[in-house]
Amino acid sequence: MKPRTSRAGTEQAAGRIRGIPVLLLQTLLVVAVALPAGIAIAPAFLGPDRPFGASQAAPPWQQIPATLSAPGSGAAGIGPLSDNAPVPAGAALAAQLNGTLKPDGAGSFTGIVQDATTGQVLFDRAADEARIPASNMKLLTAGAALRVLGPDRRFSTRVVAGPTPGSVVLTGGGDVLLGSGESAPGAVLGRAGLATLADATVEALQAGGVTGAVSVLLDDSLFTGPSLSQAWSPEDVAAGEMAPLYPLALNSARFDPAKTTGPRPQDGAMTAAEAFAARLAAAAAAAGLSVAPGVARIGAGAPDSAYDSAHAKVLAEVQSATVGQQVDFMLQTSDNYLAEVMGRMTALGAGRPGSSDDAIAAVLAQVRDMGVPTDALRAADVSGLALANRVSARQLTDVVRAMTSGTDARLRAALSGFPVAGLTGTLGDRYTDAASAAGAGLVRAKTGTLNTVIALSGYVVDADGRLLVFSFVGNGLTPGAANKAALDRSAAVLAGCGCR
């Protein structure tokens, strides 16, 4: 059996910096979390001009705050940047990056660094070469979903009246982050809970005078086409990097929300429906009703093959976290399943069928509308798991720049989802050594990892207060080699850059 090709969705993070005092870690996190809110102040991440002290060793945006900001205080800990901040000199920056951006063993790195405000290219190493992007592909999906669906959109999971008396239909609406218990309004994973949905269903049945046994049906017809792509390695599917796609699932098609690796349910919709039926049975028993064993799919045969649950009476409903929150969760955790579902929901939102091919077409259409040239871009999926994807470092930074500095304010919602170096998401256990520690708490970037591929694309405010966007992509690398360190050192160079 050939070796597995990827770890695109399992770039797990420890969420802490070893060796850094707890107070320092907390304060770094305050600055890092506050930064996206500062970006949202204006389209170009700029505020009123303010004087810069060229001799300042530790500028305000890189200082540890004297006090911790209260949760939800937004950008109180950081002021807007000035367009008078000096732009790094390309030659000085290249001299440093050429020393850090070196592969450990085989392969090579391409890369680009741009000034976010002007788009000026400060570093370019074969930036137009189309390469396997790994999970950096999710940046394109994030931007497309925010543009089509909007950051405030929620997905509904409904229970509607079934085709026969006493039957109910659990109807998937795109929420694959369902929880099995009560709805958790403050959460993303588990924001909508099946126990809450079951309780509301029983109340509706009682109000409608239903007696006797209740039967549960499943409508997961929102998505069309194959549930698995031929572009994905069967070994990756078996290992849990991906699973057959459905418009409803528990825990992003995971058996246990606390375990984000290992095999997934191969029928996430039915797994969720059976969990709902169990919750419904418990709630029904307390109300003097009963639930018939088993769950059947709508459309599997007569008499419900022509049943239209979209126009049936709604008995109960729970709603997902917002698209903006789900996009952030997707970028933080690099979950392939959620990314592919988000792609299909984007296709549906654009008036296309909910298939894998339509997800790809819808995402690429939105990327073009962002002003990103896509002639050389090749997409085999929207999660980055497929080895057939080809995206250049320049295209990736174009997307990041659209998020930080473009005119479409909807894209700002993705910024808080970028993992923070040494603190959150898939960067939580990186930037721990002396060579990269200068970027801890400052670099925000999407990671990407396959066996021979590694990528890092994101943004950082340098020591002079200039917002930079960057992308580094390595292909043909030696599996298991220490190539993450090269990317982390290079991004840390940007964070500490005076580079003049």
For residue range 253-281, list pLDDT tens digits in order. Answer: 999 999 989 999 999 999 999 999 999 99
391/16: higher pLDDT: 391
Q: What percent of the chain has pLDDT over 90?
A: 77
- When mean pLDDT is compared across 141-145, 334-338, 359-363, 494-498, the lowest value belongs to 494-498
- When mean pLDDT is compared across 73-87, 339-353, 382-396, the lowest value belongs to 73-87
Give the pTM: 0.88
Q: What would the mean pLDDT of 12-16 be, rounded to a whole number?
A: 40
Mean residue pLDDT across the chain: 87
pLDDT score of 308:
82
pLDDT exceeds 70 at position 462: yes
Q: Where in the chain are the domains?
A: 22-150+327-495, 156-321
For residue range 245-260, list pLDDT tens digits in order. Answer: 999 999 999 999 999 8
pLDDT score of 182:
98
pLDDT band for position 66 (cuts 50, 70, 90): low
76/116: higher pLDDT: 116
pLDDT exceeds 50 at position 142: yes
pLDDT exceeds 70 at position 62: no
φ, ψ at 176 (rounded to 5°): -105, 10
Helix (H) or strand (E) holding 28: helix 22-39
pLDDT score of 47:
35
Alpha helical stretches, state H, 287-414 = 323-333, 336-349, 356-369, 393-405
Q: Which of 479, 11, 428, 475 is nearest to 241 (CA)?
A: 11
Q: What would the mean pLDDT of 151-171 be, rounded to a whole number?
A: 96
pLDDT band for position 17 (cuts 50, 70, 90): very low
pLDDT band for position 65 (cuts 50, 70, 90): low
Q: What would the mean pLDDT of 454-480 be, rounded to a whole number?
A: 96
Neighbour-count burial for 411-427, b at 16+ CB within 10 Å, e otherwise: bbbbbbbbbbbbbbbbb
Query: Which residues make beta-bridge pairs with 175?
Result: 248
pLDDT score of 408:
96
Choosing among 3.40.50.2000, 3.40.50.2300, 3.40.50.170, 3.40.710.10, the CATH entry for 22-150+327-495 is 3.40.710.10
pLDDT exceeds 80 at position 41: no
Q: What percent of the chain has pLDDT over 70?
A: 83
pLDDT band for position 61 (cuts 50, 70, 90): low
- Residue 306: partners with Cβ closer than 8 Å, 6 or more residues away: none
pLDDT exceeds 60 at position 196: yes
pLDDT score of 42:
36
Q: How far is CA 10 from CA 1, 145, 238, 425, in A?
A: 21, 22, 14, 11
For residue range 439-459, list pLDDT tens digits in order. Answer: 999 999 999 999 999 999 999
In one-letter notation, the amino acid at residue 295 is V
- When mean pLDDT is compared across 52-66, 122-136, 473-487, the lowest value belongs to 52-66
pLDDT score of 310:
78
Rounded distance between C-alpha atoms, residue 187 and residue 321, angstroms: 7
Q: What would the mean pLDDT of 377-403 be, rounded to a whole number?
A: 98
pLDDT exceeds 50 at position 38: no
pLDDT score of 58:
59
pLDDT score of 63:
60
Ramachandran region, residue 271 (left: φ > 0; alpha: ψ -120 to 50; beta: rest): alpha
Active-site positions? 135, 138, 334
pLDDT exceeds 90 at position 483: yes
Task: Taking the CA atoms of 322, 239, 259 and 11 in sequence, report the sign of the dihedral they define.
Answer: negative
pLDDT score of 15:
38
Tokens of 122: 């400060």
pLDDT score of 76:
35
The total number of residues shown for the chain amounts to 500
Q: How far is CA 294 from the centre of its chain?
A: 34
DSSP states along 243-257 = ----SEEETTT-S-T
Tokens of 137: 């592909």
